[in-house]
Amino acid sequence: MQYLINDRVVHPYHGAGVITDICMKDISGVMVECVVIKLSGGRAGILLPANSVGESGLRKVSSKKDIDSAMKMLATEGEELPKDWRRRIDVLKERVNSGDPLIIATAIRDVLARSSMTKMNPSEKRVLNEAVIAFAGELSLVRDIALEEAKKLIHKKVQGKKKTS
């Protein structure tokens, strides 16, 4: 897939951002075409060799329809997570690292549903934070809003579910 400057993209591990430059860089004495991505939320950017962009999992941001579906997922009934905490964290991390907003939304939904029954451990809190940042980053780019506003929308959607339950 060909990318252009100002394209809004999502990297499965680093999150959402905007391509700010496509340039040649000297890497170990070899000139390599690279894609420069400024990550949302003021986080550090990333530099990807253009010839490995496809292998990296980089993709354009989701459609508004897909993001809206993921937002609706936040308000659905949570599914039970594994009882073993290590397995539970692995499942949640796998969802977050998928880079798919619908799957990330299920991670947020399920860990918060579980937290209503039992206290979250530090690992669950960390994965929840990573999931919210990943989802909010893409939501902010799709809806053209600030990252903090996107986080508020996510929390509002989850809180709305609790009020109607």
Close Cβ partners of 89 (under 8 Å, ≥ 6 residues apart): 123, 124, 127
Q: Are 21 and 154 in contact (CB under 8 A)?
A: no
Tokens 């951002």 locate to: 17
C-alpha separations of 44 from 25, 40, 88 in Å: 18, 9, 29
What pLDDT, on a 0 to 100 scale, did the predictor assign at position 159?
80
Give CA–CA dist 102/95, Å, rounded: 9
The pLDDT confidence band at residue 2, using thresholds 50, 70 and 90, is: confident
Asked if the 8-60 domain carries CATH number 1.10.1740.10, the reply is no
| DSSP calls for 79-98 | PPPPSSHHHHHHHHHHHHHT
Range from 42-56, 83-97, 149-163 carrying the lowest mean pLDDT: 149-163
pLDDT at 148: 94
Residue boundaries of the structural domains of the chain: 8-60, 64-164
d(CA 105, CA 95): 9
Asked whether this chain's domains 8-60 and 64-164 adopt the same fold, the reply is no
Average pLDDT over residues 120-130: 94
The tokens describing 66, both together, are: 């897909």
Structure confidence at residue 42 (pLDDT):
75
Band the pLDDT of 161: cuts 50, 70, 90.
Answer: low
Q: pLDDT tens-digit profile of 89-114?
A: 999 999 999 889 999 999 999 999 99
pLDDT of residue 163: 53
Q: Which CATH number fits domain 64-164: 1.20.58.1290, 1.10.1500.10, 3.40.50.2000, 3.40.50.720?
A: 1.20.58.1290
**What's the mean per-residue pLDDT of the chain?**
91
pLDDT of res. 12? 86
Tokens of 64: 């508004």
162: its two tokens: 């609790």
Torsion sign over Cα 153, 155, 158, 160: negative
Q: In this model, does residue 16 exceed pLDDT 50?
A: yes
Cα–Cα distance for residue pair 59/125, rounded to 1 Å: 27
| pLDDT surpasses 60 at 165 | no
